[in-house]
Amino acid sequence: MTDSKYFTTTKKGEIFELKAELNSDKKEKKKEAVKKVIASMTVGKDVSALFPDVVNCMQTDNLELKKLVYLYLMNYAKSQPDMAIMAVNTFVKDCEDPNPLIRALAVRTMGCIRVDKITEYLCEPLRKCLKDEDPYVRKTAAVCVAKLHDINAQLVEDQGFLDTLKDLISDSNPMVVANAVAALSEIAESHPNSNLLDLNPQTINKLLTALNECTEWGQIFILDCLANYTPRDDRESQSICERVTPRLSHANSAVVLSAVKVLMKFMEMLPKDLDYYGTLLKKLAPPLVTLLSAEPELQYVALRNINLIVQRRPEILKHEMKVFFVKYNDPIYVKLEKLDIMIRLASQANIAQVLAELKEYATEVDVDFVRKAVRAIGRCAIKVEQSAERCVSTLLDLIQTKVNYVVQEAIVVIKDIFRKYPNKYESVIATLCENLDSLDEPEARAAMIWIVGEYAERIDNADELLESFLEGFHDESTQVQLQLLTAIVKLFLKKPTETQELVQQVLSLATQDSDNPDLRDRGYIYWRLLSTDPVAAKEVVLAEKPLISEETDLIEPTLLEELICHIGTLASVYHKPPSAFVEGSRGVQHKRLPGSAGSGESVESPDTGSAAGVSDAPPAVIPSQGDLLGDLLNLDLAPPATTTGPPPPTSSGMQMGAMDLLGGGLDSLMGDESEPPPIPLRTDTPQSPQLPHQSPSPPDYSPTELGGDLGGSPAMGAGFGAPPAAMPASFNAPVSGGLDDLFDLGGGVGMPSGAYSPPKSIWLPAMKAKGLEISGTFARRAGVVQMEMTLTNKAMSVMTDFAIQFNRNSFGLAPAGPLQVLTPVSPNQSIEVALPLNTVGPVMKMEPLNNLQVAVKNNIDVFYFSCQYPISMLFVEDGKMERQVFLATWKDIPNDNESQFQIKDCHLSSDAASSKLQGSNIFTIAKRTVDGQDMLYQSTKLTNGIWVLAELRVQAGNPNYTVSLKCRAPEVAQCVFQSYEAVLKN
Amino acid sequence: MIGGLFIYNHKGEVLISRVYRDDIGRNAVDAFRVNVIHARQQVRSPVTNIARTSFFHVKRSNIWLAAATKQNVNAAMVFEFLYKMCDVMTAYFGKISEENVKNNFVLIYELLDEILDFGYPQNSETGALKTFITQQGIKSQHHSKEEQSQITSQVTGQIGWRREGIKYRRNELFLDVLESVNLLMSPQGQVLSAHVSGRVVMKSYLSGMPECKFGMNDKIVIDKQGKGGGSEDAAKSGKQSIAIDDCTFHQCVRLSKFDSERSISFIPPDGEYELMRYRTTKDIILPFRVIPLVREVGRTKLEVKVVIKSNFKSSLLAQKIEVRVPTPLNTSGVQLICMKGKAKYKASENAIVWKIKRMAGMKESQISAEIELLPTNDKKKWARPPISMNFEVPFAPSGLKVRYLKVFEPKLNYSDHDVIKWVRYIGRSGIYETRC
């Protein structure tokens, strides 16, 4: 009995020899020959030339020989349809054979021969076999209907086989029922609307009865079919669940998983307060755990499904953390899946154990696994706040191992931890910086650059570090390049004096030497922002970033629901809807979980609009957290505080939001000009340049002031003042020294200017106010003090009913009217509000003098914050003293009340300074020049009638001004000086 | 459903190829070979999607079994089927090897035709299959009409696993309680995880269609009985009962009855089969405790001391004890001293293997090793794999006890008392590891 010899005949003329043997008179020789033919067929040789000879062997009473011939037929009939007809007679005859095994064999094989002419002859025998007295023949015939349907669906309908098949659901033999259910389910899948599987309580009852009696495979068919049924109410749902739960003890994992599917689905309909609901939850855990002691391949399938179940119903397995601990000899695919589930189950209660395990895994051999373990530690830190500190120290330990990929992975996750807990763990930055040289993966490099840029003010040599990255700029990946660009711009905004060259360098690298449109666009955006409105640039680039969410890699809820309906199947293994990987009509219908109230809606709601299987397939998936983290790098651009256009629709991804914002933001930045300059970037943005903007910059804001509070460098302050109208020129010809223009001295000096108003700063961070963020500033417009605020809703719910109140303060500031927030603020929306103030409120001296305590109320809570207003906004318009009065007053005020201050690094001429100060209601009364030194005598009056007299000494060539202030109330001097400095430097 | 089923040898040559569905072409056979078998890297997933065709595979020694499909099939079912396929082949011709597969290819095709119809698994119980598919070819022509209908009713019937008319002169049954005890312990002796996965394997040589009932010291059953029989009884038996986390049964067991009454009743298949599997995690008797002590002496030497303590009745003997102490890759030499048994450093396995033939309960033994290391400039630290242990003990570490197995066969004239019953307990180590 050594059939292996058939595999070894490879000599020439083989076909010819076989032909002779097949036509031999001796039965034994014939059989040998057919075996050789089958062996050749198996290894892929073409033996179709022997077709007539093999078919001739069909007429035999030797069942073994017959089966071999049938096998041959199934393979080659399609290529020789005419010859295949020769076999029909034998088939038809065999279907009448007294031996049920032969009848079944004939009908089974006939269904596998996909030749039209043969299928025609199949109908009559099949009809008989469906009603055969022997269950073995009936169960075979049931499957044959599905085969025939696959070849010719119309024929099956015309011949009425579907009705016969439906009748078989009531058959007395459980296996016939199971196969009929399988066949009907498959046919129904390609006819989503046919209601073929007319599932009603009676048929369900029949199925449940057959469930107890049929083979393990039959149980799977029936359970999978049951899962498509939607019970009418919770009572029916419960009674089905009760009859399905015993299957959880079946030795066959597929039976268990299919039962879990039915239970998970029907559970949706049970009221949560029902005792049975709790019982069911408890019953589900042990079988799921038992699946983990199956063979590794099944463990993998089980783990992929548990991943879904844990997301849908975390309570089921929350106490079972330990069973997901990785074993040393688990195959890698099992290890990776277990890790995922460990993170999902991590909670405060078990975090210590989990961390200890993860640390252990981080020393294993498999690189992918180690990386994932390190990443998991970071995810734990983000998920369980209490463990963050321990996670960070574990990560630091791992960095000390100096294993290259461990270090890189650790840095990537530490970046996320910084995002989640800002200003908490920055002490580790030094350690991170030590490992700068070993980073060779883009993601790690980008993460490190992000950290350096974000915390540039705390890293002494941030500029050197970034510069070192810049050297090989063109060899970096796009991710790193983009990040480097952003980081250097951040650094520049934080330390403008030392980093001008660096920012010029990176802007030119990004815009002039790069072919990457993303990089170029971003470079131009920064460039333009910096040159037109550095204040806005600061607000945009250094804006507070939205918090990152706790749960990571969550599957989007509608997809999750659909996948729960596919537990046990490939869809649940791939975590993709069937339509994503199944061709044709089968995958199109999307399954949904039933509603809890027992809505009579059909579960299989066919997606009629989508005919093309693939393209429409995955429902718009909200970018998973993984993607969001990836986008982090680009997120810096999203400015919540300066939203000028309509808020981006919430459904659009983060990336889109950022682009929209920029489109609108840029336009409005330019909008102050009478003639909006052409916009070379993104001219296709939906927003028009004439957006009705509640611009953060006041209307009388001249470009001179736009330099913002970038610091003391006069080059900066003036340089950015180049009128925006000149910008397009430098834009259109960036090569022609556009960068020089950027830092050009002298630009807008002497332009008349309005009252100085500091840029908005964040008064109330969202974290402290349940999602409400308030940033704001004070300004004096047309003699009225205004409090200008941006209210941003960073919570998930709409905010309404805003009101505001001030505590008593030094100058009696009080709202002149109610806070006008007319519309509810929806999530992610920002609203600009200007609140006019008066100075007739109750007075109490504050420390510092210009401190203001504010209470803001909304529908959620009352929040308190305090802010400091520039005293210059209290300088009234009629603060110009008569020269004589000034002289008299100056003499009158005792010298003790005089205080002297230095203003450093101010490069304005005395005239320019004078006109600037006048904009803020500090009036120059007289000017004297002594020994090349300009002495300006100035007066100003506060809202409460206090006069402040000043002597400003400006010496040409000396950037240091001296200001002497005299006032009857010397306490205000400090504040007034601050205003001087602020006004002059901006 | 399954569209095609292929068997390959280790080189990727096709031994068996059976296509069930039109959507699986012949090129699928090659796609799997090229993308998975010849991929020359560790298998990252048992499910692979190649050009919109999904392949499920399992390996037995160096034979690959792969199922291909283009539909959203029940993945768990496909793997269960592949395992079943292996079981069936093993039951027919022993070990699954290239030689055996080639020698039996006609039989395999015949089996595949029978147990998979249009990709739907059909009855695959070897007991039933063997009645009409044999290695010696079909003898159907010799079957009488009666026999034929008996075969078909068995293949499709409710009791597909047993045929009628079995007769034994001596009615006898053997019960083996086989447990594997798994442990993961921290170096400090803290149990990180421990569980027992057990199997009750039965060999039945019983006449007729006997109805059996199996009882064990399941806590739920004992407590239930305790309630009826008085508190004293419950307290007494409560000590001996065990909490079973979960159990699964052979398809012969009536699950609905187990669910409602927690009684295990069934008509057994003839011969050997697995009646149930179970898992426990509470009150496990850990037969051995391993106490590791690893000391790094400079960069070129390690001192390892491992103590093992046996923790069961001193009258019992553990057998086939093997302790495997992993050594670093740069080990140049090992000096060993052990009190009992034989210890050897196996360079090819990077481990010290210490074997003890027998060891009684409540004893202790130890091994000391000095490991010389070659200096390396490899920055990566040695991962220190756990110390693993193998053993066999003559009791069930879960504490499970068989209370009864009753046999009723009303039609034939033998009673429960006439059946000779044998019970045996074997506890083996599963993954029994202590970190060091």
What does the DSSP assignment read for A149-185? HHH-HHHHHHTTHHHHHHHHTT-SSHHHHHHHHHHHH
Measured between alpha carbons, how far is A744 from A731 in angstroms, rounded to an integer? 15
What average pLDDT does this structure show over A698-710? 36
Judging contacts by C-beta atoms under 8 Å, the chain B residues touching residue A302 are 76
pLDDT at residue A638 above 80? no
pLDDT at residue A604 above 90? no
In this prediction, residue B405 carries a pLDDT of 92
Measured between alpha carbons, how far is A454 from A483 in angstroms, rounded to an integer? 11
Q: Which of residues 607-636 of A touch B (CB under 8 A)?
A: none
Interchain CB contacts (distance < 8 Å): A and B: 290
Model pLDDT for residues A454-466, shown as the tens digit of each residue: 888 888 888 888 8
Model pLDDT for residues B390-416, shown as the tens digit of each residue: 999 999 999 999 999 999 988 888 888
In this prediction, residue A865 carries a pLDDT of 87
Share of chain B above pLDDT 90, in %: 58
ipTM above 0.90, yes or no: no
Residue to mutate among B63, B117, B264, with most A CBs inside 10 A, is B117
In this prediction, residue A708 carries a pLDDT of 35
Half-sphere exposure of B376 (CA within 13 A, CB side): 14
Q: Do A44 and B26 touch (CB under 8 A)?
A: yes
Instruction: Say if residue A445 is exposed, middle or buried (CB neighbours under 10 Å; 0-12, 13-18, 19+).
Output: buried
B406 is in an annotated binding site: no
**Region label for A400, one of left (φ > 0), alpha (ψ between -120 and 50) or beta (otherwise):** alpha
> Which residue, B66, B84, B48, B64, is CA-closest to B3?
B66
Half-sphere exposure of B251 (CA within 13 A, CB side): 24
Query: CA separation (Å) from A588 to A581, A606, B49?
Result: 10, 7, 19
> Which residue, A185, A286, A258, is CA-closest to B78?
A258
What value does the CA radius of gyration of chain B take, rounded to a whole number of Å? 26
Residue to mutate among B120, B135, B138, B256, with most A CBs inside 10 A, is B120
Query: CA separation (Å) from B126 to A100, A371, A973, B21, B155?
Result: 20, 46, 101, 25, 10
Q: Which of B249, B386, B388 comes nearest A251 by C-beta?
A: B249
Helix (H, G, I), strand (E, B) or coil at A800: coil
Q: Which of A379-383, A404-408, A422-426, B303-307 has the lowest mean pLDDT?
A: A422-426
Judge contact between A637 and A658, C-beta under 8 A: yes
Judging contacts by C-beta atoms under 8 Å, the chain B residues touching residue A75 are 19
Identity of the highest mean pLDDT range in A184-193, A253-262, A642-651: A253-262
> Which residue, A632, A600, A702, is CA-closest to A983?
A702
Between A738 and A904, residue with greater pLDDT: A904
Task: Give the strand pairing for A851-857 and B420-434.
Answer: unpaired
Letter for the amino acid at B399? G
pLDDT at residue B312 above 70? yes
Count of C-beta atoms within a 10 Å radius of residue A763: 21
Q: Which residues contact B144 (CB under 8 A, 6 or more apart)?
A: none
Model pLDDT for residues A159-177, shown as the tens digit of each residue: 999 999 999 999 988 899 9
Q: Which of A2, A174, A332 comes nearest B44 by C-beta?
A: A332
Pinpoint the alpha helices (H) of A455-597.
462-470, 478-494, 500-512, 517-532, 534-541, 557-564, 570-574
Q: Which of A93-107, A180-194, A482-496 has the lowest mean pLDDT?
A: A180-194
B342 is in an annotated binding site: yes
Q: What is the mean pLDDT of chain A?
A: 78
Q: Which helix (H) or strand (E) holds A211?
A: helix A201-213
- Peptide bond connecting A848 to the previous residue in cis, omega within 30 degrees of 0: yes
Beta bridge partners of B429: B181
Measured between alpha carbons, how far is A226 from A200 in angstroms, rounded to an integer? 11
pLDDT at residue A113 above 70? yes
B257 is in an annotated binding site: no
pLDDT at residue A549 above 80? no
Query: CA separation (Å) from B270 to A215, B126, B167?
Result: 17, 11, 10
Beta bridge partners of B8: B14, B64
Using 50, 70 and 90 to split pLDDT, how confident is the model at B66? Answer: very high
Query: Any CB–CB contact under 8 A between A782 and chain B?
Result: no
Using 50, 70 and 90 to split pLDDT, how confident is the model at B161? Answer: confident
Judge contact between A522 and A514, C-beta under 8 A: no
